[in-house]
Structure 1
């Protein structure tokens, strides 16, 4: 008979990691924006990708492709992205719309709270456009991570394949945590597909979905910065009365 695992919530609202190894990995994942320069072996990334390929995929389509960058190749791509960000403002946009044009509640309040918490944690006033721009620029150096990934999807597929892609990306990030690494998914890199396409030989049928920074965090996170809604706020239960 399987043992029922009890869920424990700590002061930060995070599931008690020690109760279940899988819960530990999920609750420990965070969007890291400060990496150490400790190298990550190609074999480690290959292990992560080898596990992530088992993410769910409707009809086993597997719509993803990953371009893995390190060393001089990553440095070259980073320099090109930063140049485009600094010298060509407003000229680069993603091939898909990530955010809604207008946010209804509760999403508007959550987004505003994110801005207050994120920039507040960095000591940046939300009105300080220059400081915010400098923080955004760190995306293009993959936040100092030794590995950068560019993830694409075949544009000829439909929205359902984007569900598959999301599950694949999440599985990659969880597999990284299981190996002592952290990551940061970066939609903003998708804006620079015109820069990335020739540099990485990305074929025309592939759409750049996002980038991911991956490596060892500079320091262990002491507390989760972003709060998450309680289960009661997003889940409805029926049929459990008995």
Structure 2
């Protein structure tokens, strides 16, 4: 799926920013945007086909239109390929630190103890993925091996590491989430897929020297970017979403 400005009802300004032309094209534009959002998912197996720098730059430029408090734009991105990406992989996998022993000492992504409804959703996600891979609930070594595929960026040709200045506050982290979503949606518009990966965060000590990341920056997450390998069973897995009735209140 490649979404073009001509077909989508968008026009491009002189600076390259897509804009809806008029009320008539809003319907068409909404369909294009909705398709990019709903077709986004975490792909866990990629083809080796390279993504050129021009495409990566275009995706990041569009994503940077994300809103941020007083336009601070708190994101910083390290784009890696080939040898540099492999050095990140080697630094993590050769560290001997298993995922269950990794230290979340910069920030904590998950609660110390899960509770409902989040526990059930988390389990459904894990069991669903392992099921399509044929991994049993007691096959711990196979589970670990699958988790470690994070650190090869699921074989994607492009791996990105995202950081934020530790002196910033929670509002900037909210802004960051919108920026990351923009990247993933912009990638879909170009026929590409992604996988956002918090798994990299506790390995910041291994990643820092490879990318020369300053101490004042916190590693937020990584992200794989590339073309989906549709032959792999893990890419058949689909997550569901809770119905609106469970989480929306129309206040009166």
Question: Given the two structures, how large is their TM-score scaled by the length of structure 2?
Answer: 0.84
Q: Which sits farther off after the overlay, 217-226 or 101-110?
A: 217-226
Cα 1:48–1:113, aligned 2, differ >3 Å: closer, same or farther? same
Aligned mate of 1:110, from 114, 118, 121 = 121
What are structure 1's unaligned runs of at least 5 residues? 7-16
Equivalent residues of 1:25, 1:178 under 8 A apart: yes
1:88 maps to 2:97: yes
What is the match of residue 13 of structure 2? none
Residue 216 of structure 1 and its aligned partner are, at CA, apart by: 0.4
Equivalent residues of 1:94, 1:192 under 8 A apart: no
> Partner of 1:156: helix, strand, or coil?
coil
Distance 2:246 2:39 in 1: 22
Distance 1:134 1:205 in 2: 32
Aligned mate of 1:22, from 15, 33, 39 = 33
CA RMSD between the two structures: 2.3
Distance 2:236 2:82 in 1: 31
Equivalent residues of 2:45, 2:235 under 8 A apart: no
Residue 121 of structure 1 and its aligned partner are, at CA, apart by: 1.4
What is the match of residue 198 of structure 1? 209
What is the match of residue 241 of structure 2? 228
Distance 2:208 2:53 in 1: 22
| Deviation readout 1:127-166 (Å, 9 max, x if unpaired) | 1110001101111110000000000011001111100010
> Partner of 1:111: helix, strand, or coil?
helix
User: How many residues get paired?
Assistant: 227
What is the match of residue 9 of structure 1? none
> Partner of 2:222: helix, strand, or coil?
strand
What is the match of residue 137 of structure 1? 148
Distance 2:191 2:180 in 1: 17
Residue 5 of structure 1 and its aligned partner are, at CA, apart by: 8.3
> Partner of 1:125: helix, strand, or coil?
coil
Aligned mate of 2:189, from 161, 172, 178 = 178
Distance 2:47 2:236 in 1: 19
Aligned mate of 2:139, from 128, 132, 135 = 128
Equivalent residues of 1:145, 1:215 under 8 A apart: yes
Aligned mate of 2:56, from 45, 69, 73 = 45
What is the match of residue 210 of structure 1? 221
> Partner of 2:223: helix, strand, or coil?
strand
Q: Which sits farther off after the overlay, 171-180 or 222-231?
A: 222-231
Equivalent residues of 2:87, 2:210 under 8 A apart: no
> Partner of 1:20: helix, strand, or coil?
helix
Equivalent residues of 1:32, 1:183 under 8 A apart: yes
Residue 233 of structure 1 and its aligned partner are, at CA, apart by: 1.2
Q: Which runs of 4+ in 1 moved over 3 A?
A: 1-6, 91-94, 220-224
What is the match of residue 146 of structure 1? 157
Residue 104 of structure 1 and its aligned partner are, at CA, apart by: 2.2
